[in-house]
Amino acid sequence: MSNLFDLSGSTAVVTGSSRGIGLAIARTLLAQGASVLVNGYDEAETAAALKGLREQYPQAVGERPRIAALAGDVTDADLARGLVAEAVHVFGHLDHLVCNAGIDIIKPAVEYTPEEWDRILTVNLRGAFQPAQAAARHWIAQGSGGSVTMTSSIAGAVGIPTLAPYAASKGGINQLVRTLAAEWAEHHIRVNAVAPGYVANIMDSVTAHDDPASDRRINVFTPLGRRAAVEEIAAPYAFLASPAAAYVTGSVLAVDGGYTAT
Residue 73 CA from chain centroid, whole number: 15
Q: What single string gives the DSSP state of each residue in 188-238? A: TEEEEEEEE--BS--STT--S-S-HHHHHHHHHHSTT-SPBPHHHHHHHHH
Instruction: Pick the catalytic residue from 41, 166, 198, 259.
Output: 166
Quick one: residue 62, left, alpha or beta (phi over 0 = left, psi -120 to 50 = alpha)?
left
Report d(CA 26, CA 96) in Å as an integer: 12
> How far lies 18's CA from each of 12, 49, 50, 68, 191, in Å?
14, 5, 8, 12, 23
| Residue among 14, 25, 2, 246 at smallest CA distance from 132 | 14
Yes or no: say if 242 and 1 are a contact pair by the CB < 8 Å rule.
Answer: no
Q: How many CB atoms lie within 10 A of CB 178?
A: 17
DSSP letter at 112 equals -
C-alpha dist (Å) from residue 11 to 82, 144, 152, 166, 172: 15, 14, 22, 29, 27
Cα distance between residue 150 and residue 178, in whole Å: 11
* DSSP, res 93: -
- Does 166 qualify as catalytic in the annotation? yes
Question: Which residues does the annotation mark as catalytic?
Answer: 166
